[in-house]
Homo-oligomer: A and B are copies of this chain.
Amino acid sequence: MSTAQVRVTFEPQGRAVYVLPGTKLLEAAGAAGLSVESPCGGKGTCGKCRVQFTHGAPPPGKADRTRFGADPLQAGWRLACQTALTSDAVVFVPSTSLFASSHQIFMEAQRGPAEEVLPAVRKVFVQLSPPSLSDEMPDLMRLEQAVGPVKADLKTLQRFALRLRKGGFSGTAVLTDHHLMDFELGDTTKQCYGVAVDIGTTTLVASLMDLCTGEELAIASSINPQTSFGDDVLSRIMHAASEKGLKDLRHAVVEAISALIDQMCASAGVARDRIYDFTCAGNTTMEHLFCGVDVAPLAVVPFVPAFGRGLVLAAEDVGLKLHPRAAVYVFPVIGGFVGGDTVAGMVATKLAEAKGPVLLVDVGTNGEIVLGHEGQFLAASTAAGPAFEGARIACGMRAAAGAIEKVIIDGDVQMNVIDNARATGICGSGLIDLAAELLTAGVISGGGRLLPPQDLPAGLSEALRRRVVLDADGRVEFVLAEADAHGPRVFLSERDVRELQLATGAIRAGVNILLRRAGLKTDDLQSVLIAGGFGSFIRRSKAQRIGLLPAGLPHERIRYVGNASLNGAKWALLSTRAHDRAETLARKTRHVNLSEDLEFQMEFAEAMLFPE
């Protein structure tokens, strides 16, 4: 049923994905979780997305020939945005071509001021001169001569002197600020790790980072197990009304994050007690629940969070088994509805440095929107619902193996299934594609109706026509795969289309309100940054087709920036300066409460209709 896919492997990351033939390499990289630089919007003019095929290089295009000389072309260099994949391939992606990566922080650090890369944790290998009768200096002060003033907690103090002697007055001091976290035997300076986590309402994504090199050693994700207590923010707040409920929710998310850390440590061969720093970002409710802080005030006017500024907590208090003295940084929140994930996204995308009006849309269970213009920021949150993460969709699923993540309709349905597996469901990007294609084919009406067989347009192919069926209750379904020995039936329901309309409508309405508040028009937007983990790579034309993105906007102004919340959390691991930036951005961003906005309901109703 689905066309044969091609396999492309990215090095040195070692990630492989299956894509439909003809897929642009830029998109395939996105599907592999690699955000390749493309500031020109994929027009082949900026040359930032250069990659090298080591196997299966397609013939160079015009833009490739303009950009590269004969030798590089021969060596397989191509522009990722201009190159369509036609066969299995292996591609080398230089770290300089990666967007919003930790590597970028290091690159910038080399260009910019030295303090740019400044993890909270410092490891210093010291070799001290042993004490003598003429030098009776106490151990800790002896260490201070090498590393500057330090304060030690009781546990570190208790073993410091012993370890110092065991190591012949040498060893590795682990420092955060002026706190001596530990003193390790031998030279362990290279073993310095941190974990960044995006705490989504539906999905948790964690990254294990090498704090020495900025390298991402592992990434892992799972469903937020709190979903079993309710799939949206409000139902979580309700569940947390009892002390036990709050405890259960906190426990669930902390345990799930612990499991992700275990998984990453195992795959990267890293010991948990060499993880010294932890940063996380989530919406206001998620962050409060992670901390075990009462969320009742977040459900009643005026929706006041317990904390605004970022928190620095003890990992041990939080219940995360990292190094016992590891710190947990929780991103600052903007308001009751716009949380640390948005702030992290603003940090990661350098929203404050954008030229001209810029819009950041983070699509998750809530759709968070930030509009930046002349140093001013407006932010709002819309209850988009978890449709883009596959929840509340009959056959919805996360962007994992078996998920239909791309759909093309060309006479019949062509699908790309993650890991080239048998399709078991649809993830967010597949859902957008499918709805857009069905709208264009006339199978879905502008009002969002999935048309019954008798109302289908005359010119529709027989193959597609056969996929439109009625269920036992007479409701229309569009079938993507029939159940067989290898997997379940996969289909789109009328209700699914309605969920999608709600999600896109809410976001569009929010965008419109913010634009109006700022006195701007859609055309004024110089860039639109789409963030989120709702698939792997957003296809802009499809997103515009269903009305998620403004239709008139040129493609090159739209960029997918990946999981910006996670990227912001990674920045915060690698540079404490990111903490400062987060605090500043959180405080200077004005929170627009859409639920109090009379225009919003009207805008919402209008935005529910798919564009013609």
Contacts and interface: CB of A to CB of B under 8 A. Distances in A.
Interface of A: 131-133, 135-141, 151-155, 157-158, 160-162, 165, 291-294, 297, 301-309, 311-314, 317-318, 333, 335-336, 591, 593, 596
A132 B306 contact: no
Contacts of A141: 307-309
Given A138-B306, A152-B311, A153-B314, 16 more contacts: A131-B304, A133-B302, A136-B302, A137-B308, A138-B305, A138-B308, A138-B333, A138-B335, A139-B304, A139-B305, A140-B307, A155-B317, A157-B291, A157-B311, A158-B293, A161-B297
B157 A304 contact: no
A167 to B, nearest CB: 14
B297 A165 contact: yes
Nearest to A246: B158
A403 to B, nearest CB: 37
B158 A291 contact: yes
A157 B293 contact: yes
A307 B596 contact: no
Nearest to A328: B154
Contact of A140 (B165, B292, B306): B306
A301 B131 CA distance: 9
A162 B294 CA distance: 7
Contact of A302 (B132, B165, B591): B132
Nearest to A305: B138
Contacts of A317: 153-155
B297 A154 contact: no
B132 A307 contact: no
Contacts of A139: 297, 304-307
A132 B297 CA distance: 12
Given A141-B308, A308-B141, A311-B152, A302 B157 contact: no
A153 B305 CA distance: 16
Contact of A157 (B133, B140, B306, B336): B306
Contacts of A306: 138-140, 157, 160-161
Contacts of A160: 293, 306
A69 B136 CA distance: 59
A101 B66 CA distance: 86
Shortest 4 CB-CB contacts between residues of A and residues of B: A138-B308, A161-B306, A154-B317, A138-B305
Nearest to A131: B304
Nearest to A165: B297
B292 A133 contact: no
A135 B302 contact: yes
A135, A304, A307, A313: residue with the most chain B Cβ atoms closer than 10 Å:
A304
A304 B138 CA distance: 5
B314 A154 contact: yes
A307 B138 contact: yes
A148 B116 CA distance: 28
B301 A161 contact: no
A345 to B, nearest CB: 19
A271 to B, nearest CB: 23
Nearest to A161: B306
Nearest to A587: B141
Given A157-B291, A317-B154, A317-B155, A335 B136 contact: yes
Contacts of A138: 304-308, 333, 335
Contacts of A301: 133
A162 B297 CA distance: 9
A160 B138 CA distance: 41
Contacts of A311: 151-152, 157
A41 to B, nearest CB: 37
26 contacts: A133-B596, A135-B302, A136-B303, A136-B335, A136-B336, A136-B591, A138-B305, A138-B307, A138-B333, A139-B304, A139-B306, A140-B306, A140-B308, A141-B307, A141-B308, A151-B312, A152-B307, A152-B311, A153-B313, A154-B291, A154-B314, A154-B318, A157-B311, A157-B313, A160-B293, A161-B293
Contacts of A161: 293-294, 297, 306
A302 B131 contact: yes
A132 B596 CA distance: 13
Nearest to A307: B140
A304 B154 contact: no
Contacts of A308: 137-138, 140-141
Nearest to A162: B294
Contacts of A292: 154, 158
A307 B157 CA distance: 8
A136 to B, nearest CB: 5
Contacts of A131: 302, 304
Nearest to A298: B161
A160 B335 CA distance: 17
Contacts of A165: 297
A30 to B, nearest CB: 36
